[in-house]
Copies of this chain bind each other. A is one copy, B any other.
Amino acid sequence: MVIAKLIDNVWATRKADNMNGLKLMLAEITGGRKNGEQIVVCDVIGAGIGDRVIVASGTAARQALGDNSIPIDSAVIGIIDDSCKPV
């Protein structure tokens, strides 16, 4: 997984089947050599812009949604506690 900061919402009216109602957000990886790499993530745990989150990729992302048929490859799996020092 990687640590990323949620920086924006992503809106796509035309999209693949099974994606209606999914919340997509733009995240930027923070810390280490990948700092600044941007990814689009799916959120189902109530994260918001500005949150530092843990992002999982691949099959893990679909496990987080509980439905392997949804065509996404990246999802928020945790919101890092504020007390956790920034990386």
Q: Say yes or no: is A49 at the interface (Cβ < 8 Å to chain B).
A: no
Copies in the complex: 5
Question: Nearest B residue to A7 by beta-carbon distance?
Answer: B87
Residues of B within 8 A of A54 (CB): 10, 12, 15, 24, 40
A41: which of B1, B17, B57 is its contact (CB, 8 Å)?
Answer: B1
**Measured between C-beta atoms, what is the minimum distance from A28 to chain B in Å?**
7
A78 and B38 contacting across the interface, CB-CB below 8 Å: no
- Check B81–A11 contact: CB distance below 8 A: yes
Q: When the two chains form their complex, are residues A37 and B34 in contact, meaning their CB atoms are under 8 A apart?
A: yes
A3-B38 Cα distance, complex, nearest whole Å: 8
Closest 3 CB pairs of A and B: A32-B38, A12-B78, A15-B78
Interface residues of A (CB under 8 A from B): 1-3, 8-19, 24, 26, 28, 31-41, 44-47, 54, 56-64, 66, 68-81, 83-85, 87
